[in-house]
A and B are shown apart, each in its own frame.
Chain A
Amino acid sequence: MTEKTLTRMDLSEAVFRELGLSRNECSALVESVLQHVSDALVRGESVKISSFGTFSVRSKAARVGRNPKTGEEVPILPRRVLTFRPSHLMKERVADGNRRLGKVS
């Protein structure tokens, strides 16, 4: 079996099957979930979704980087990066599911 890529459309379709609201409403709701998670992160909050995982924002200090091709030094500005830490449940389900499908040898 080959890997598929799901998009917002697949998520709204799942919400549609689950709730039977209009398709438009379902896609607006999916968008709203992503929007509120993003907004909280932009405000600097962590977002902790139980049994899914935690998104958190970390601040990185400025440092001197190097262009690996030319060896030239380039300043890297201080910035905020997002990290995602999957929950134990997610790790377990992803490990088990892929093992069962024979994707891990």
Chain B
Amino acid sequence: MIRSELIQIIAEENPRLSQRDVERVVNTVFDEIVEAMARGDRVELRGFGAFSVKYRDGRIGRNPRTGEAVEVEPKAVPFFKTGKLLRDRLNDGDGGDDDE
């Protein structure tokens, strides 16, 4: 499934809304998550999962092609952990209670 298909399905379920509005809904949801992480915040969506930021130390890496040593700067990277309900649903449990 891609973004446009997701928008399509939700638009069909909400005939009162224009396709354009549904597009704005979907874009806002994903943009907010990125913006939160860009501020170093965490986004916890019970049953679905949590987006957070992990901080990686700088290190000396190596260019795999040339073997040359290169300095890798410390940086912040996005991280996602699957929620319990979704993890259970993937393994066809009924999910049950969702306290993660």
A residues apposed to B, CB below 8 Å: 1, 3-8, 10-11, 14-15, 18-19, 21, 26, 29-30, 32-34, 36-38, 40-42, 45-53, 55, 57, 79-82, 84, 86, 89-91, 93-99, 101, 103-105
Q: Provide the residues of chain B in CB contact with A3, threshold 8 Å.
A: 40-42
Partner of B44, one of A7, A55, A104: A7
Q: List 21 A-B contacts (CB under 8 A).
A: A3-B41, A8-B45, A18-B28, A19-B28, A21-B17, A32-B13, A33-B25, A34-B45, A34-B48, A36-B9, A40-B1, A42-B89, A48-B2, A51-B30, A53-B78, A81-B82, A93-B37, A94-B37, A94-B78, A97-B39, A104-B75
Given contacts A4-B42, A32-B13, A46-B1, contact A91 B29 (CB under 8 A): no
Q: Provide the residues of chain B in CB contact with A40, threshold 8 Å.
A: 1
CB-based contact B44/A18 at 8 Å: no
Interface residues on B, range: 35 or more
Partner of B29, one of A33, A96, A103: A33
> What's the A-B contact tally at a CB cutoff of 8 Å?
171
Least distance between A45 CB and chain B CB atoms (Å): 5
Residue of B at shortest CB range from A16?
B28
CB-based contact A98/B90 at 8 Å: no
User: Is B24 on the interface with A (CB-CB < 8 A)?
Assistant: yes
Cα separation A76 to B49 with both chains bound (whole Å): 22
Cα separation A49 to B53 with both chains bound (whole Å): 19
Q: Provide the residues of chain A in CB contact with B91, threshold 8 Å.
A: 79-80
CB-based contact A37/B6 at 8 Å: yes
Q: Provide the residues of chain A in CB contact with B29, threshold 8 Å.
A: 11, 14-15, 30, 33
